[in-house]
């Protein structure tokens, strides 16, 4: 990523606020609906959901065409979402909404890294980020993008003036 683009990305992240995941959502039950499933009920298994996949966990809402939920030792270790596009909506700890869309989303719970690929768009009240590939660290709030020959685009909205 070019130094100017890196500086702009840092500015955008500062403007759009902290990590977009609500920390308490991870401790909530996960409800999943889909047209069909192929699942094993063991502690180390992959569950595949197809068609009209809806995942709800706290403030997190996910809609996708397909979801693969990987479990290791009984806990969810990775979720792979695909769609046209897959869509994630969530409210942050500060109450700000986030809306993300991509053709493919891979979330690794061990590393707390989410990789979004294919026509990625992340929107928050203070701005947006577009690109072909964005890597998001849920622990630090850091987003990395570009470097794939496609580049990234951002929109940073001005901070609203205080009411008089």
For 50-93, what is each residue's pLDDT tens digit?
999 999 988 889 999 999 999 999 888 999 999 999 999 988 77
pLDDT at 160: 72
Spell out the domains of the chain, with CATH numbers in brackets: 3-156 (2.60.450.10)
CA-CA distance, 11 to 72, in Å (whole number)? 37
Residue 90 to residues 14, 85, 163: CA-CA distances in angstroms?
A: 18, 16, 27
Residue 25, token pair as written in the block: 């959502």
pLDDT at 162: 53
pLDDT at 164: 53
* Residue 152: burial class (beta carbons within 10 Å; 0-12, 13-18, 19+): buried
pLDDT at 125: 87
Residue 119, token pair as written in the block: 């026509």
pLDDT at 109: 87
Helix (H) or strand (E) holding 12: helix 3-16
State the pTM of this model.
Answer: 0.77
CA-CA distance, 141 to 139, in Å (whole number)? 6
Low-confidence ranges of the chain (pLDDT < 50): 1-19, 161
């Amino acid at each position: 990523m070019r130094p100017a683009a890196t500086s702009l990305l840092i500015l955008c992240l500062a403007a759009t606020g902290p990590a977009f995941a609500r920390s308490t959502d991870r401790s909530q039950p996960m409800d999943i609906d889909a047209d069909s499933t192929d699942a094993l009920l063991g502690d180390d298994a992959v569950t595949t959901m197809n068609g009209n996949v809806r995942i709800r966990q706290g403030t997190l809402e996910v809609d996708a065409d397909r979801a693969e939920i990987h479990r290791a030792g009984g806990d969810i270790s990775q979720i792979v979402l695909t769609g046209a596009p897959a869509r994630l909506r969530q409210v942050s700890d500060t109450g700000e909404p986030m809306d993300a869309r991509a053709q493919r989303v891979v979330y690794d719970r061990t590393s707390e890294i989410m990789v979004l690929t294919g026509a990625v768009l992340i929107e928050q009240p203070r701005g947006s980020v577009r690109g072909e590939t964005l890597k998001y660290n849920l622990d630090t709030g850091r987003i990395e993008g570009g470097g794939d020959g496609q580049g990234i685009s951002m929109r940073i909205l001005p901070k609203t003036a205080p009411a008089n």
